[in-house]
Structure 1
Amino acid sequence: MENFYQILTIAGVLLYWLTLGAVAVRVVIKRRTIGVSFSWLLVIYFLPFIGIGAYLLFGELHLGKSRATRSKAMFRPYGQWFAKLYQHPQHQPHCQSHYGVSISQLCDSQLAIPSLSGNNLILQNTPEQILNSIIADIDAAKESIIMEFYIWHPGGKADNVAQALISAALRGVKIKLLLDAAGSRQFFKSKWPSQLRSHGIQVVGALAVSPLRMFFRRLDLRLHRKIVVIDNTIGYTGSMNLIDPRYFKQTQGVGQWIDVMVRITGPVVPIVSAVSAWDWEVETNQRELPQQPIDNPVLPSATSLVQVIPSGPGMPEEVIHQVLLQSLYEARRKIVITTPYFVPSENLLDALATAAHRGVDVNIIIPRKNDSTMVKWASRSFFGELLKAGVKIHQFNGGLLHTKSVMIDDEHCLIGTVNMDMRSLWLNFELTLAVDDIVFAAKLAQLQQQYIDNAEQLNLARWQNRALYKRFIEHVFYLFSPLL
């Protein structure tokens, strides 16, 4: 019997090391960035069993067999829909600035989605303005409403939005809600899903989380887009979830969330709607592509040339990462970035430092207090290198700054749902607008300056004198930053 247990022990140890070796080989042959591979190797070797389990659950981008199969079948019809846009009269690449040309060419190559001019963009930056505007547009809706959010949290004006949707449904408006199952879990526990469905509104939870699904799909893959499309003519996207900040995460000590949304009219609205249609079909297997944008006369105020950039599973890998890098490379005078979660890739870190070295005024605005402890410490691990390069880091004091924006030379901007971290850049379903419009850029630049005015700029000398225990914690989280 003793020999049997010895053999069993040896077999178990051998099996463990064979499994460990197999997972390590898998990490290496996936050919991701060295930092990501190194972080996973640390996890699986220094956290026995737990590390292997973590990699099997979270290490690779598994969309799930049924969703992956549907996505592959969708490439051709959606590709044909987007290809028709190249014949639209508002596809005017010759009107682009030199900033927009490189981004547009990159998106033509990677996504085959053209930029279109003749749009009108309104920047909205207070919860009251955003929610009241959405409610007003819902009240005026005649045919259809599509809403897609990572978080819908009940309470306050968010409930007013739900009530407005019920009123619209009673008028005969067709309404679809696609909400991330994890991000909107409080909504799905509330009275609203049953009330909305009882009035004929389709409410679908995307990427449902359950113990069984963990073996077939990566659990932390999330639908992070924020989209509203009304009658295929009015669109919204930006950083704000469907929440009233007065009723959301009030016990975390970070203050109210500070967000923006962009209200859009013009030919790019159907493109945003098509992105949402993609998500709806991946989740439900129901195809409802929108009508192509109509060739309406362009209003004098509709001057924005906009590139819609979806990213995430089913889209070309690293597309938003490449767009961000290209934007930083194009900068000649000034870069301003706002992001709640700052955990850049090695390439982005190098691009920011290099821009500062060549004389570009580089500014990064982040919240002083963060709702993610891991991100807070990982983020701080990059500050020293950036400060030494001359990058200005501003810590915002007015709440959890959740706005995601990049401004280049006060002329060209990126705005949408993408954080500057690995999760947004490589994992989640995201949406970004690249906007070529000096007037819109000026309004965003003014808002960014308001953030800076309500922030404290980090000082290199003081930063270098921070406590040793803080440096140690930063170094620990730095090792795992590629996985955050």
Structure 2
Amino acid sequence: MGADLVWTWAGVAYVIDLAIRIVALGVVPRNRRPASGVAWLLAIVMIPYLGLVLFLLLGRTDIGRKRDARQRLANARVHEVAPTIPAATLPAGTPDYVHAAATLNTNLGSLPMRAGNRVELIPGYQQAIEAIAAEIDRARRFVHVQYYITAWDHATAPVYEALVRATERGVKVRLLVDHVGTSRIPGYRRFERTLNASGIEWYPMMPVRPLRGDFQRPDLRNHRKIVVVDGTVAFTGSQNLIEPSYGKPKHQKAGRRWVELVMRCEGPLVETLDVVFATDWLTETGEVLIDEIAIVPPERGEVCAQVIPSGPGVVAENNLRAFVTLIANARHRVSLVSPYFVPDESLLYAVTTAALRGVEVELFVSEGKEQFMVFHAQRSYYEELLRHGVRIWLYPEPFVLHTKCFTVDDDVAVIGSSNMDMRSFALNFEVSVLLTGGDVVAQTNQVIDGYRALSRELVLQEWLTRPLRHQYLDNVLRLTAALQ
């Protein structure tokens, strides 16, 4: 009797196992890039029950019914406002592919290219914090602040103290912080209590709080970094609002500090960055700000700039499409800076094909291991890049090169929050800015020249001699990068 029962349960388990695999074949690939579909199917075939649970938890870019409805409302408001925003006429001599990229970005994100901007790049970590604090102290109407990771610590105190002073002057201060990204920082509960007592109106973005009814795919994150002051000055880039070792004792002990790039801008670009903040504010709070903030700042400079919002709530992979378009049209040189370079097939082909066409292509990444899984997944691409002629520069330990930017020829620079990895293309809400005209490309290349001066070049012969165990680990974790 006992043996029969065992065989019965074994048969049931076999049927369930087989059913999971058969159903997965028809369900998993739907609306998913082939590499991602194959990776999920492999996980489900190898570990059916665990693979199914992981797929149900992580296999959909579902931001929740309420948030999805608000996101659609925000997108609709942007579509209404966008036609009233005057689009730039690009300077004479601008290459045709830049015009094409601007049209692509407008069709995807509804936000046009804006002329008349002044852009200053701030590569110094504390310098950027001090610059933001100084602008907040000049605020008279409102301050909008949005970060993936933030903390009120010794480095960021100038910003938070300036925000409190602004509220005391009657300035409206709104703050958005990514819930998961920020809650992992030591002292988060104290941070919450301090904010609640500060007079700052703040909300967590994409909160994962099942007991309070807040739940969506837990690894969908809002990765944007934006500060707007009075609709006249804005900041964006790669830097989070936290001390440069992220408050982690192990980083501080190792001397590990993040290297960042922030852009300060004046002119019409400020308005479009504020529109992106307003869409996220509406999504999290239900409050519509777009009409309130729709001021057109006066022209301040010669830079044309276009905001590229991307993420699960907008047309799929706006940033990836823009990046591929720009790199595929390069004629002389492409300089890429990305702490996490885990490309999909289209970006990998664009980069390697550019190198094979004779374009000088270089990639700047950190030498050290800051995030275990993405570090090894990224390394799995190095051999192919090197064999196709891409030069790889390794920024020295213990520093973490966290800047996200690239330049194409002397025509275009792109700066923002987006890495060149599958997570930033498909799972994170990101903001990037396409810049052309004036001296902005020269400014960006000057920053990249500084990175090159500090870095060492990785050559193919060295790379091929790395231990077999490292090669195996790199290749295994490359598969996990496709699980989207």
- For the residue of structure 1 that corresponds to 2:275, the secondary structure is helix
Aligned to 1:264: 265
Aligned to 2:296: 294
Aligned pairs for 1:334-373 (under 5 A) are: 334-373=333-372
Deviations 1:240-273 (A, max 9, x none): 0001215533514472000011111101111111
Q: Please state if 1:139 is matched with 2:141.
A: no
Q: 1:149 to 1:26 in 2, by over 3 A?
A: same
- For the residue of structure 2 that corresponds to 1:49, the secondary structure is helix
- The Cα shift of 1:19 comes to 2.8
Q: 1:201 to 1:477 in 2, by over 3 A?
A: same
Aligned pairs for 1:213-292 (under 5 A) are: 217-246=216-245, 248-252=247-251, 253=254, 255-289=256-290, 290-292=292-294
Amino acid at match of 2:162: A
Q: Greater shift after overlay, 157-166 or 144-153?
A: 157-166
Aligned to 2:17: 16
- For the residue of structure 1 that corresponds to 2:314, the secondary structure is coil
- The Cα shift of 1:116 comes to 0.7
- For the residue of structure 1 that corresponds to 2:180, the secondary structure is coil
- The Cα shift of 1:428 comes to 0.5
Amino acid at match of 2:69: T
What is the alpha-carbon distance in structure 2 between the residues aligned to residue 260 and residue 96 of structure 1? 28
- For the residue of structure 2 that corresponds to 1:415, the secondary structure is strand
Amino acid at match of 1:415: I
Q: Greater shift after overlay, 184-193 or 461-470?
A: 184-193
* Residues 162 and 196 in structure 1, CA contact (< 8 A), matched pair in contact too: no
Which sections of structure 2, spanning at least 5 residues, go unmatched? none
> Identity over the aligned pairs, expressed in percent?
31
What is the alpha-carbon distance in structure 1 between the residues aligned to residue 188 and residue 108 of structure 2? 39
Aligned to 2:169: 171
What is the alpha-carbon distance in structure 1 between the residues aligned to residue 17 and residue 116 of structure 2? 61
Aligned to 2:45: 45
What is the alpha-carbon distance in structure 1 between the residues aligned to residue 309 and residue 257 of structure 2? 28
Which sections of structure 1, spanning at least 5 residues, go unmatched? none
Q: 1:254 to 1:438 in 2, by over 3 A?
A: farther
Aligned to 2:149: 151
- For the residue of structure 1 that corresponds to 2:144, the secondary structure is strand
Q: Please state if 1:446 is matched with 2:446.
A: yes
Q: 1:164 to 1:103 in 2, by over 3 A?
A: same
Aligned pairs for 1:448-463 (under 5 A) are: 448-463=448-463
* Residues 62 and 216 in structure 1, CA contact (< 8 A), matched pair in contact too: no
What is the alpha-carbon distance in structure 2 between the residues aligned to residue 438 and residue 103 of structure 1? 18
Aligned to 2:94: 97
Q: 1:250 to 1:436 in 2, by over 3 A?
A: farther
Deviations 1:166-221 (A, max 9, x none): 11111101011100001111377243433333343111111112356899521100
What is the alpha-carbon distance in structure 2 between the residues aligned to residue 213 and residue 454 of structure 1? 48
Q: 1:463 to 1:199 in 2, by over 3 A?
A: closer
Amino acid at match of 2:296: I
What is the alpha-carbon distance in structure 2 between the residues aligned to residue 254 and residue 220 of structure 1? 28
- The Cα shift of 1:481 comes to 2.9
- The Cα shift of 1:280 comes to 1.0
- The Cα shift of 1:324 comes to 0.5
Q: 1:449 to 1:364 in 2, by over 3 A?
A: same
* Residues 58 and 220 in structure 1, CA contact (< 8 A), matched pair in contact too: yes
Q: 1:295 to 1:209 in 2, by over 3 A?
A: closer
What is the alpha-carbon distance in structure 2 between the residues aligned to residue 82 and residue 317 of structure 1? 19
Deviations 1:86-115 (A, max 9, x none): xx2x63246572242121110122222210
Q: 1:10 to 1:96 in 2, by over 3 A?
A: farther
- The Cα shift of 1:161 comes to 1.5
- RMSD of the alignment, in Å? 2.1
What is the alpha-carbon distance in structure 2 between the residues aligned to residue 397 and residue 471 of structure 1? 21
Q: Which runs of 4+ in 1 moved over 6 A?
A: none
* Residues 144 and 175 in structure 1, CA contact (< 8 A), matched pair in contact too: yes
* Residues 162 and 192 in structure 1, CA contact (< 8 A), matched pair in contact too: no
Amino acid at match of 1:34: P
Amino acid at match of 2:217: R
Aligned to 1:480: 480
* Residues 120 and 304 in structure 1, CA contact (< 8 A), matched pair in contact too: yes
What is the alpha-carbon distance in structure 2 between the residues aligned to residue 37 and residue 269 of structure 1? 39
Q: Please state if 1:392 is matched with 2:391.
A: yes
* Residues 96 and 305 in structure 1, CA contact (< 8 A), matched pair in contact too: no
Q: 2:181 aligns with which of 183, 198, 210?
A: 183
What is the alpha-carbon distance in structure 2 between the residues aligned to residue 44 and residue 146 of structure 1? 44
What is the alpha-carbon distance in structure 2 between the residues aligned to residue 413 and residue 254 of structure 1? 31
Aligned to 2:69: 69
- For the residue of structure 2 that corresponds to 1:183, the secondary structure is helix
What is the alpha-carbon distance in structure 2 between the residues aligned to residue 188 and residue 182 of structure 1? 14
Amino acid at match of 1:305: C
What is the alpha-carbon distance in structure 2 between the residues aligned to residue 275 and residue 125 of structure 1? 23
What is the alpha-carbon distance in structure 2 between the residues aligned to residue 17 and residue 254 of structure 1? 51
